[in-house]
Amino acid sequence: MSTGKNLSRRDILKENIIALARGEKTPKDIYPDCVCKIGYSEDPIYLLNDKEVSEEEYSRAIANFDGEGFTITYGGRKFDEES
């Protein structure tokens, strides 16, 4: 599989169809139900359908994602187990 850079939409579709036929991807891998980015600055965590993925996989998925978004903030407070 290629990285998805400099591919036409037709090439991407072709790769996705081949990956589906081989069982390498599921429909939810291509059009996820849920995408999530946790963290802003230092090493954020990227999730697709509750599975941790790379930033590149997240970016490709978010380009295809058609859904509602929301932001959760916690005021920048540092939490520990004792508090």
* pTM, to two decimals: 0.55
Q: Tell me the per-residue pLDDT of 17-59, one tens digit each, with 9 for 90 and over.
A: 999 999 998 887 777 888 888 887 778 888 888 889 998 888 8
Q: Could you tell me if 45 and 51 are in contact, meaning their C-beta atoms sit under 8 angstroms apart? A: no
Among residues 38, 33, 32, 19, which one has the least CA distance to residue 60? 32
Return the domain boundaries, the chain: 9-64
